[in-house]
Amino acid sequence: MTTYKTAELEGALLDAAVAKAEGFPSFWIDPGDDARGEACVLGPARARDDRFDWCPSTAWEQGGPILERERITTIDMVADWSAYIGLEMSNGEIEGAKASASGPTPLIAAMRAYVASKLGETVELP
């Protein structure tokens, strides 16, 4: 196991951290081949016919339901996106966020915030 900073996770590592935060019992990082890059794979075995690529940091059909369920707010900050969980407004000011993160896209920012809220500032991954 290797420890990673949640704020720096991206690609298959971020997707694997989301799988861990979701409580999936079986996932691994597949190094891929020349045609397909590294991916987080869910499933009971490493057999190709059992594979299920898990990419909530890039696929709205996977990350979107997490964003909605966790009520993650994303804000376009011009150069980056910010995401907040548990965001509250008081007198027009943002406060009370349980977790926050930033990233180059709304899904990356949201998934980093989600992982931070569930697993903390660092995460151990295979």
Q: Is residue 40 part of a domain?
A: no
Q: Is residue 105 part of a domain?
A: yes
Q: Is residue 62 part of a domain?
A: yes
Contact 8, 17 (CB under 8 A): no
> Over the stretch 19-32, which tens digit does the pLDDT of each residue have?
999 998 888 887 77
Q: What is the dihedral of CA 52, 17, 82, 120, to 10 degrees?
A: 160
**Cα–Cα distance for residue pair 50/45, rounded to 1 Å:** 6
Q: Is residue 101 part of a domain?
A: yes
Contact 1, 120 (CB under 8 A): no
More confident residue, 36 or 84: 84
Domain range for 73: 2-22+56-125
Q: Is residue 30 part of a domain?
A: no
Q: Is residue 15 part of a domain?
A: yes
| Domains contained in the chain, number | 1
Does the pLDDT of residue 36 top 70, yes or no?
no
Q: What are phi and psi of 23, to 5 degrees?
A: 85, 20
